[in-house]
Amino acid sequence: MTTELMMVIAQENLGTHIEKEQEEEALKTCINPLQQAEEYLKSLVVETQDLASPVLRSASICTKVEEAFSQAHVIVVLDESTDKEVFTLEDCLRSRVPLCRLYGYLIEKNAHESVRVIVGGKTFVNLKTVLLMRYAPRIAHNIIAVALGVEGEAKAILARKLKTAPSYIKDVIIWGSISGNNYVDLRKTRVYRYESAIWGPLHYSRPLLNLIFDSEWVKREFVATLKNLTATGRQFGGILAAHSIATTLKYWYHGSPPGEIVSLGILSEGQFGIPKGIDFSMPVKFENGTWVVLTDLKDIEISEQIMARMTSDLIQEKLVALGDKIHFHQEEQSSDAADFLNRIPQTTFEKPQSLEFLNGFEGKTVES
């Protein structure tokens, strides 16, 4: 055998060996997705232990479905990933049902009887919440949806405009869907510790709409920026999501700051004219381990047109997901919406205007 032929055979064998190794690696990746997920969970446990937090007793993972939520006192439900490819909005809505049905069954079966369930994320948050209520009816009163992420984004945009801290802005109300067609209400919003010619003690505050004199910014840039940040499917940053959930949980156990309005997604019982049976974000306060809807707030009426637009989407999401409706028909923005934007008068120093903001799939509306 010549040297040249031996070199050719050696190269072929080497090439075959490399190809086999690549095939084996690819096969491992395909065969062991669950094993990879388990390794990722283990790394999260290690990272949690690295916190060396004085309130952390232990951290563990669960990889057996039948053992999920065992004696859990608090359950946090985030956006889920799915292996099933969906091509339509209707398929996406229906794909939420199997997992929520499974979660609901396991929560009622395994969790502590006083378990508290918090639903977060940015994808059909209200729908997932109401489905969990449906499939875990025994603890439905203890299932809520987090709205503080959207509330925080609105406060941050306003704070940048006023050159103040977001924490100094209070009482922004989020109405409706947390991850879709919602209504950001600034009529009760107040600003504390604002540096201006008028100054007072720490508890002194001023109406936000008295301080923003650029009404065009309020009507255009604020609305557009918030719409982009709160678009369905757009993920919160990890810090914002964690803080929103932790703050909601703290309020649930220890109460919210006295006199402060908090937005929360809960099951409607007909408050404010909202249809019963949908999960709807509304103003509440936390006290004594539960929440109280602030139905006594004055001057927060919402027009029938805007209420219908918000509730229609949430009702349709539920009906489509459960198979009671085939197609989702998005509520169209009324032809009067553009006129509203043009008819709002300029803000004056003497008499500030009251504005409300609608954040929907189709756009945002400002109403005077």
Question: Is residue 213 one of the residues assigned to a domain?
Answer: yes
Q: How open is the CA angle 139-179-358, to the nearest 5 degrees?
A: 120
Question: Is residue 361 one of the residues assigned to a domain?
Answer: no
Question: Is residue 122 one of the residues assigned to a domain?
Answer: no
Q: Tens digit of pLDDT for each residue in 76-128?
A: 998 876 555 667 888 889 999 999 999 999 999 999 999 999 999 888 999 99
Question: Is residue 89 one of the residues assigned to a domain?
Answer: no
Question: Is residue 116 one of the residues assigned to a domain?
Answer: no
Lowest mean pLDDT, pick from 25-29, 211-215, 318-322: 25-29
Tokens of 172: 């922004």
pTM, 2 dp: 0.78
Question: Is residue 123 one of the residues assigned to a domain?
Answer: no
Residues 6+ apart with CB under 8 A from 21: none
Q: Do 36 and 176 fall within a single domain?
A: no
Question: Is residue 243 one of the residues assigned to a domain?
Answer: yes
Where in the sequence is the domain holding 288, given as residue range(s)? Answer: 146-342
Count each helix (H run) and each strand (E run) in the chain, helices first. 11, 13
Overall number of domains in the chain? 2
Task: Identify the pLDDT of residue 213.
Answer: 82
Helix/strand/coil for 239: helix
Residue type, 92: C
Residues 6+ apart with CB under 8 A from 364: 223, 224, 226, 227, 357, 358
Task: Identify the pLDDT of residue 244.
Answer: 94
Q: Do 31 and 150 fall within a single domain?
A: no
User: What is the rounded average pLDDT of the residues 15-37?
Assistant: 61
